[in-house]
Amino acid sequence: MNIKSSFLLCLLIPFSALSAYAMWQVGYIGIFTSSLANWGTIQVFCDLVVTSLLAIAWMLNDARSRGTNAWPFVVVTLLAGSFGPLFYLLKRGGEVA
């Protein structure tokens, strides 16, 4: 395992714990309803949607150039946000560019 993969795992593990705790506290639907509580949270939610769409576009383009399939990671991104790109990067061995 290279240093980039190690860094991704060090990011993924606490993020997974935070996400699991949030899911336990408010549930999957509660995460979305909380993000629509006021204009500030709506802005953050929209920002995350835009970022996720950019990550999806990047994963599809990158996978096409590598001759691999990004669709499982696209689905994970649509259902669980940042987990999709993080897992995709781990699959690539931590290589970002």
The DSSP line for 60-77 is: HHHHHHHT---HHHHHHH
pLDDT tens sequence across 5-60 = 889 999 999 999 999 999 999 998 998 888 899 999 999 999 999 999 999 999 99
Q: Are 43 and 54 in contact (CB under 8 A)?
A: no
pTM of the model as a whole = 0.85
Please state the length of the chain: 97
pLDDT at 32: 85
**Which residue ranges make up each domain of the chain?**
3-91
